């Protein structure tokens, strides 16, 4: 993960597809605090819990002036089904198969499981300040209590 971001780095401005057929990139949030939460796959237990936890706190994030954006490599149609199934409130974006934001940040990386090596998303959350710079990084996130911890940090920023 040599290109993994550091606090103070500017988030690369890479366009991602949204479930509504549009697109989004980090510069769209200039002037607002932003939470980018990268997760491996829609509709899997940990990822579903994480998205539901951010959904439960979406109003609190909004009141604190903080935008949310969940990111995985899942295609927009899969995101749309995931959102509908769980009534998710945090917007989701589809990162490109190759050369996407998670690649640029070093979050899409080689992983190992049961002796098998494959490319995968490291569950990571970035808190981005209003100028587009990374204020805090959570890497290899454990889902339980994570959204609450991010809310506290985002509110204090």
| Residues identified as active-site | 47
Contact 36, 26 (CB under 8 A): yes
Angle at the Cα of 65 from the Cα atoms of 64 and 69, rounded to 5 degrees: 105
* List of residues 6+ apart from 63 with CB closer than 8 A: none
Instruction: Detail the DSSP E strand segments found in the chain.
Output: 16-17, 23-24, 33-38, 66-72, 92-94, 108-113, 116-121, 124-128, 134-138
CA 21 to chain centre: 19
Encoding tokens for residue 66? 């903080």
Record the tokens describing residue 75, joined without a space. 């295609």
């Amino acid at each position: 993960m040599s290109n993994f971001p550091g606090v103070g780095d500017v988030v690369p401005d890479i366009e991602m597809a949204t479930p509504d057929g549009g697109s989004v990139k980090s510069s769209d949030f200039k002037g607002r605090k932003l939470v980018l939460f990268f997760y491996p796959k829609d509709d899997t237990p940990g990822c579903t819990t994480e998205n539901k936890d951010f959904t439960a706190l979406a109003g609190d994030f909004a009141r604190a002036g903080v935008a949310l954006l969940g990111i995985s490599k899942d295609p927009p149609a899969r995101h749309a089904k995931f959102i509908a199934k769980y009534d998710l409130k945090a917007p989701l974006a589809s990162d490109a198969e190759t050369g996407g934001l998670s690649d640029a940040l070093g979050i899409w990386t080689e992983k190992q499981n049961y002796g098998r090596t494959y490319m995968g998303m490291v569950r990571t959350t970035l808190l981005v300040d209003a100028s587009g710079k990374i204020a805090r990084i959570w890497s290899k996130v454990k889902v339980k209590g994570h959204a609450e911890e991010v809310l506290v940090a985002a509110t204090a920023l």
